[in-house]
């Protein structure tokens, strides 16, 4: 049954009220049977960003997820079957770090499982490593599971409050068994096709988290440093002076390099010099990446100080002389080449951190006279793990990689073609994808030396000496998911773990992106439910923020291309980000963070959604928490919708067939027809902001002018001055109700709560499953005649005359003369009624102008 129209409609309470109804009625549920019957073309599938469960949702999430929901709601109303799941990215380092701090624990895989373990804190941890209790891997993972489940519930609550129309029966977790199965299956297939491989290579390494990290996770930070001018010794006794910011790595030096065109150093190419203090003989070589104008123009190459060192080392085939360990300290053993007195110097450094090794080296170089002058302070970009707080080091380790086109021209071209096959909204965002693909410098490193993640599903055979040998052992796909560190390799017994002739399990896990790059496959239950998969894949829309084009968007395209040879989705909607009033990216450190929940509580969900909807895709939105203008406007719109609709529904409903006959009513509907056309096209083009703008603009004209003009007639209180006034009341009310019905649906994607409330006053079903409005249903087969704007202008003229006279708008007018196109006469009666004009003369004229107006004498009072 329809809801009663309240006396005082209000926005308060609509979110929980309708949230419960939608849930109870399954309004947003994916109707699989109907979708199957209708076929894939009638399915609209959305690949949703799984937010990091351990992070916090911020205003930018609300912004982008609302954009996604606008498209979803539009498509649903157009009759598409929505496959709109939601996932949580709960695996990975961010969760581990949060768990460490929250519970005050740290993982030590060598410890046994303690079934009765109670963490020292519940949300009160200090985050200081010294106060953390070491726990077994299994205990640690249990805590991760516990906390993410709690976090995810809060996320879901927020999304429901925001009114996202996702199907909550279709949720997934990137640490869940289904996701693990998909991730491991995809990996095994990559491995079988040779796209996944294991290699020893210089690897970017975070010494805090003790894990390898990938190119996509890098972040440059400007850091203070200092150039140290240091002498290298030529065989003839002379010196070559280099400048370096990392003198502590001199022991790792394997060459000096200068630009091939640099005349200063050309004579030395092919010769050797000896390193200071250590006396190691290293070649002087030429390479175009050496910068002539930087420092002294000649640099030392170490294994490895930065990524350029890696390039030189590889391309110039230099020696390997590593001195840094995975803990970020100088290795105990001196590398090959350091002998005699050099060993004593090295012993002074061994075990030191990079920081203290540098200090000691400077002292030693100063004593030996190899340091020229004082170090010269500079700031320079240093590579960091985006979640780390110490500079990355480069160490050589054995890691797993997935091919990404960096070393394969053909694959790269296929990925670029995939980018061209996807419709980016806005289009220019494709460039960021292309830049990223073009700039890849190595294959995708997916192994992480961490705990809470999807295990890499392989084991290694041990030879009779207990050394790993041969190809990795892989499980069969139907055994997935597997955990090689707790399950025996196929064909082996657990007792053979670590024994000669037995096996060992891979202990590394996959980077979280190696799983979340498969969200389309996970949500569609790839291989586990082929019918569903074929129905929804490839998806229609990927919606996300611009900041994760290089990670999530790229990696998803890559996995789909490798596994399916197709694009994962047809459209990519890219949201901008939120900037504060100073046009700076919003950040927590500014202290002006507004929690999304607080925002929803304060302004209401419709208002917040309006704010998001009024920004186009790809455009950054300014947000000032002190002055949230757009939200106030959105709130006003939602309230106005409630009130205007209530008003319209208060007019007596005419008996008999509803026919719109009055020219003004016809013109209003014809104008609305244009609005429907424009809004529909805008939504089709993922331009929700434009759809909202044209709809909203019409709505205010409807309220301020049309509704004012016809309300007397709609009450049935205008006697009328012509024969056609007999149906005037019926015409007005019919047109009013028809217009409201259409406008509610146009606005439903943006303000789902207010529109649903109003819709319920006259309908039994949800507006969100109603058909998107069409021009045909307006029943007006005409282009706008221009009557409505004409009357609006005339009305403004009358109002202005009254304002100028400082009179109330209610003041009667004895006589008014208006120049206007004669079309205006068609609405003369309405104009007279709203202006309280006794006698109205309309004279032919091109422009609307009030020629004369005579207010009736105001009664004393």
Partner RNA sequence: GGGCUCUUAGCUCAGCUGGUAGAGCGCCUCGUUUACACCGAGGAUGCCGGGGGUUCGAGUCCCUCAGGGCCCA
Find the shortest distance in angstroms from Cβ 845 to RNA.
Answer: 15
Output the smallest distance, CB 642 to RNA, in A.
Answer: 8
Residue 856 sits in the site that holds RNA (CB under 7 A) = no
Rounded Cα–Cα distance for residues 137 and 442 (Å): 31
Least distance in Å: CB of 702 to RNA? 9
- Beta-carbon contacts of residue 749 (< 8 Å; ≥ 6 apart): 69, 70, 73, 74, 77, 613, 683, 688
**Closest CB to RNA among residues 254, 638:** 638
**By rule CB under 7 A, what string of x and - marks binding of each residue 777-796 to RNA?**
------------------xx
Angstrom CA distances, 818 to 42, 662, 681, 701, 829, stand at 54, 21, 38, 21, 14
Residue whose CB is less far from RNA, 154 or 697: 697
End-to-end CA distance of the chain: 49
Taking phi over 0 as left and psi of -120 to 50 as alpha, with beta for the rest, 852 belongs to: beta
In this structure, the number of other CB atoms found within 10 A of the CB of residue 573 comes to: 24
Nearer to RNA, 326 or 799 (CB): 799
Q: Candidates 128, 626, 806, 859: give the one binding RNA (CB under 7 A).
A: 806
- 197 vs 700, which CB is nearer to RNA? 700
Cβ neighbours of residue 370 closer than 8 Å, sequence gap 6 or more: 230, 231, 276, 277
H or E stretch at 601: helix 596-603
Instruction: Specify the residue for token string 């990524």.
Output: 307
Task: Give SS3 for 569.
Answer: strand
Q: Please choose, out of 218-226, 238-246, 257-265, 498-506, the segment that lies near RNA by the rule CB under 7 A.
A: 218-226
The CB-of-381 to RNA minimum distance in angstroms stands at 6
Q: How far is CA 405 from the centre of its chain?
A: 24
153 alpha-carbon distance from chain centroid: 20
Contact between 186 and 521 under an 8 Å Cβ cutoff? The reply is yes
Smallest distance, RNA to C-beta of residue 639, A: 5
Chain residues 421-450 in contact with RNA, contact rule CB under 7 A? 428, 431-432, 435-436, 439, 441
Q: Which stretch binds RNA (CB under 7 A): 86-94, 142-150, 442-450, 627-635?
A: 627-635
Closest CA to 831 of 698, 697, 718, 731: 718
> How many residues touch RNA (CB under 7 A)?
62
Cβ-based neighbours of 114, under 8 Å, separated by 6 or more: 135, 136, 139
Give least dist CB 810 to RNA, A. Answer: 5
> Is residue 229 a contact partner of residue 372, using CB atoms and an 8 Å limit?
yes
Among the listed residues 201, 639, 659, 770, the single contact to RNA using CB under 7 A: 639
Q: How far is CA 817 from CA 9, 835, 857, in A?
A: 40, 13, 18
Q: Helix H segments across 769-816?
A: 787-804
CA 178, CA 373: separation in Å to the nearest integer? 62
Does residue 218 interact with RNA by CB under 7 A?
A: yes
Part in contact with RNA (CB under 7 A); list of ranges 20-28, 134-142, 400-408, 798-806: 798-806
- From the list 95-103, 264-272, 632-640, 748-756, the region that binds RNA by CB under 7 A is 632-640
The yes or no reply on residue 704 touching RNA (CB under 7 A) is: yes
Residue 809 CB, nearest approach to RNA (Å): 4
629 binds RNA (CB under 7 A): yes
Which one of 91-99, 343-351, 467-475, 808-816 is the stretch in contact with RNA (CB under 7 A)? Answer: 808-816
Which DSSP letter does residue 448 get? E
Site string for RNA, 645-664 (x = CB under 7 A): -xx--x--------------
Q: Shortest Cβ distance from residue 287 to RNA (Å)? A: 14
CA distance 275 to 249: 11
Integer Cα distance of 798 and 855 in angstroms: 10
Question: Does 220 engage in binding with RNA (CB under 7 A)?
Answer: yes
Give me the least distance between CB of 688 and RNA, in Å please: 12
Closest distance between RNA and the C-beta of residue 621, in Å?
A: 5
Span 17-36, contacts to RNA by CB under 7 A: none
Contact status: 858 vs RNA (CB under 7 A):
no
Tokens at 506, concatenated: 């891979």
Output 335 or 576, the one with its CB closest to RNA: 576
Q: How does DSSP assign 175-206, residue by residue?
A: TSHHHHHHHHHHHHHHHHTTSEEEEEEEEEEE
Min separation Cβ 633 and RNA, Å: 4
Q: Rule CB under 7 A: choose which of 229, 550, 559, 768 binds RNA.
A: 550
Helices (H), 542-595: 554-564
Of the candidates 146, 189, 414, 690, which one interacts with RNA according to CB under 7 A?
690
Q: How far is the CB of 793 from RNA (least distance, A)?
A: 9
State the minimum distance, in angstroms, from the CB of residue 142 to RNA: 35
Instruction: Report if residue 703 touches RNA, rule: CB under 7 A.
Output: yes
In this chain, which stretch among 132-140, 227-235, 702-710, 766-774 interacts with RNA, using CB under 7 A? 702-710
Name 64's Cβ contacts closer than 8 Å, sequence gap at least 6.
Answer: 49, 543, 544, 545, 575, 612
Q: How far is the CB of 392 from RNA (least distance, A)?
A: 13
Q: Select from 32-40, 127-135, 579-587, 819-827 the region that touches RNA (CB under 7 A).
A: 579-587
We find the least distance from the C-beta atom of residue 466 to RNA, in angstroms, to be 40
Question: In a 3-state reduction of DSSP, which class is residue 791?
Answer: helix
Residues 734 and 659 sit within 8 Å (Cβ to Cβ): yes
Cα–Cα distance for residue pair 172/532, rounded to 1 Å: 15
- Under the binding rule (CB under 7 A), the answer on residue 12 touching RNA is yes
Which CB, 381 or 501, lies closer to RNA? 381
Task: Burial-class residue 418 by CB neighbours within 10 Å (0-12, 13-18, 19+).
Answer: buried
The CB-based long-range contact list for 118-124 (8 Å cut-off, 24+ gap) reads 119/143
Binding string to RNA for residues 377 to 416, with x set by CB under 7 A, is what? Answer: ----x-----------------------------------
User: Which of 809, 814, 841, 843 contacts RNA by CB under 7 A?
Assistant: 809
Q: How far apart are CA 528 and CA 534, in angstroms?
A: 11
Q: Which stretch binds RNA (CB under 7 A): 173-181, 442-450, 524-532, 804-812?
A: 804-812
Residue closer to RNA, measured from CB, 38 or 796: 796
The residue from 67, 185, 229, 635 that contacts RNA (CB under 7 A) is 635
Q: Which residue has the tokens 């054995």?
A: 398
Tokens standing for 119? 């963490």
Residues within window 580-619 making contact with RNA, judged by CB under 7 A? 581, 583-585, 616, 619
Q: What share of the chain is helix, strand, coil (3-state, %, to 5)?
A: 45, 20, 35
DSSP string, 112-148: PP-TT---S-SS-----GGGPEEE-HHHHHHHHHHHH
Asked if 700 touches RNA (CB under 7 A), the answer is yes
Query: Do 519 and 47 form a contact (C-beta atoms < 8 A)?
Result: yes
CB of 618 to RNA, least distance (A): 8
Piece in contact with RNA (CB under 7 A), picked from 215-223, 295-303, 334-342, 659-667: 215-223
Q: Which residues lie near RNA (CB under 7 A)?
A: 10-12, 215, 218-220, 381, 428, 431-432, 435-436, 439, 441, 546-547, 550, 579, 581, 583-585, 616, 619-622, 629-630, 632-633, 635-636, 639-640, 643-644, 646-647, 650, 690, 693, 697, 700, 703-704, 707-708, 711, 795-796, 799-800, 802-804, 806-810
């Amino acid at each position: 049954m329809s809801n009663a129209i309240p006396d005082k409609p209000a926005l308060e309470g609509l979110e929980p009220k309708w949230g419960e109804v939608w849930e109870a009625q399954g309004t947003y549920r994916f109707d699989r049977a109907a979708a199957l019957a209708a076929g894939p073309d009638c399915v609209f599938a959305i690949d949703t960003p799984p937010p990091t469960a351990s992070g916090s949702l911020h205003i930018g999430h609300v912004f982008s997820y609302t954009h996604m929901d606008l498209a979803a709601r539009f498509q649903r109303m157009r009759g598409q079957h929505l496959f709109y799941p939601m996932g949580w990215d709960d695996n990975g380092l961010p969760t581990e770090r949060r768990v460490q701090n929250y519970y005050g624990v740290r993982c030590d895989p060598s410890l046994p499982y303690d079934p009765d373990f109670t963490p020292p804190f519940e949300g009160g941890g200090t985050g200081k490593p010294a106060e953390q209790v070491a726990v077994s891997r299994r205990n640690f993972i249990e805590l991760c599971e516990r906390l993410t489940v709690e976090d995810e519930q809060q996320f879901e609550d927020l999304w429901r409050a925001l009114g996202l129309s996702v199907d909550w029966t279709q949720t997934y977790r990137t640490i869940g068994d289904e996701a693990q199965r998909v991730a491991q299956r995809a990996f095994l297939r990559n491995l079988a096709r040779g796209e996944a491989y294991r290699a020893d290579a210089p690897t970017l390494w975070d010494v805090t988290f003790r894990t390898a990290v990938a190119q996509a996770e890098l972040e440059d930070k400007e850091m203070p440093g200092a150039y140290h001018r240091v002498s290298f010794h030529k065989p003839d006794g002379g010196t070559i002076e280099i400048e370096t910011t990392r003198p502590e790595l001199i022991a790792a030096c394997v060459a000096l390099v200068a630009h091939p065109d640099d005349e200063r150093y050309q004579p030395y190419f092919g010769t050797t010099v000896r390193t200071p203090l250590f006396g190691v003989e290293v070649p002087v070589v030429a390479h175009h990446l050496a910068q002539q104008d930087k420092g002294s123009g000649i640099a030392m190459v170490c294994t490895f100080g930065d990524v350029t060192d890696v390039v030189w080392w590889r391309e110039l085939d230099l020696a390997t002389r590593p001195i840094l360990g995975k803990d970020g300290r100088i290795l105990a053993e001196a590398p090959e080449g350091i002998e005699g007195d050099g060993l004593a110097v090295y012993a002074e450094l061994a075990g030191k951190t990079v920081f203290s090794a540098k200090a000691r080296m400077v002292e030693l170089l100063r004593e030996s006279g190899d340091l020229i002058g004082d170090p010269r302070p500079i700031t320079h970009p240093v590579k960091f793990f985006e979640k780390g707080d110490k500079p990355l080091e480069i160490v050589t380790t054995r890691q797993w990689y997935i091919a990404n086109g960096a070393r394969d021209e053909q694959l790269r071209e296929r990925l670029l073609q995939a980018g061209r096959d996807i419709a980016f909204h806005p289009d220019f965002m494709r460039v960021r994808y292309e830049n990223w693909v073009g700039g890849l410098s190595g294959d995708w490193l997916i192994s992480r030396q961490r705990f809470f993640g999807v295990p890499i599903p392989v084991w290694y055979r041990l030879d009779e000496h207990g050394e790993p040998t041969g190809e990795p052992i892989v499980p069969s796909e139907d055994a997935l998911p597997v955990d090689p560190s707790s399950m025996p390799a196929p064909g082996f017994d657990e007792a053979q773990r670590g024994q000669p002739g037995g096996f060992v399990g891979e202990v590394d896990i996959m980077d979280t992106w190696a799983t979340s790059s498969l969200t389309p496959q996970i949500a569609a239950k790839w291989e586990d439910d082929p019918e569903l998969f074929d129905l929804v894949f490839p998806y229609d829309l990927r919606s996300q923020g611009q900041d994760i084009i290089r990670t999530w968007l790229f990696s998803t395209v890559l996995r789909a291309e490798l596994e399916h040879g197709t694009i994962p989705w047809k459209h990519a909607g890219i949201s901008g980000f939120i900037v504060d009033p100073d046009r700076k990216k919003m950040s927590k450190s500014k202290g002006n963070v507004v929690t999304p929940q607080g925002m929803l509580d304060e302004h209401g969900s419709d208002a917040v959604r309006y704010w998001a909807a009024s920004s186009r895709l790809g455009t950054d939105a300014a947000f000032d928490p002190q002055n949230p203008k757009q939200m106030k406007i959105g709130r006003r719109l939602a309230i106005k919708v409630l009130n205007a609709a209530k008003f319209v529904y208060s007019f007596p409903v005419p008996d008999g067939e509803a026919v719109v006959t009055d020219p003004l009513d016809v013109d209003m509907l014809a104008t609305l027809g244009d609005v429907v056309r424009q809004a529909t096209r805008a939504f089709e083009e993922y331009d929700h902001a434009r759809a909202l703008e044209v709809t909203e603009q019409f709505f205010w004209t409807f309220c301020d002018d049309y509704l004012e003009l016809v309300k007397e007639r709609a009450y049935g209180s205008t006697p009328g001055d012509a024969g056609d006034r007999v149906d005037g009341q019926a015409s007005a009310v019919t047109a009013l109700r028809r217009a409201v019905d259409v406008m509610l649906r146009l606005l439903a994607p943006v303000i789902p709560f207010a529109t649903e409330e109003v819709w319920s006053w006259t309908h039994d079903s949800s507006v969100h499953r109603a058909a998107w409005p069409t021009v045909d249903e307006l029943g007006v087969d005409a282009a706008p005649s221009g009557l409505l704007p004409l009357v609006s202008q005339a009305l403004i003229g009358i109002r202005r005359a009254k304002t100028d006279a400082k009179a109330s708008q209610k003041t009667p007018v004895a006589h008014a003369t208006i120049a206007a196109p004669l079309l205006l006469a068609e609405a003369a009666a309405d104009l007279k009624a709203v202006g309280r004009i006794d006698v109205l003369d309309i004279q032919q004229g091109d422009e609307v102008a009030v020629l004369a107006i005579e207010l009736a004498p105001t009664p004393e009072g």
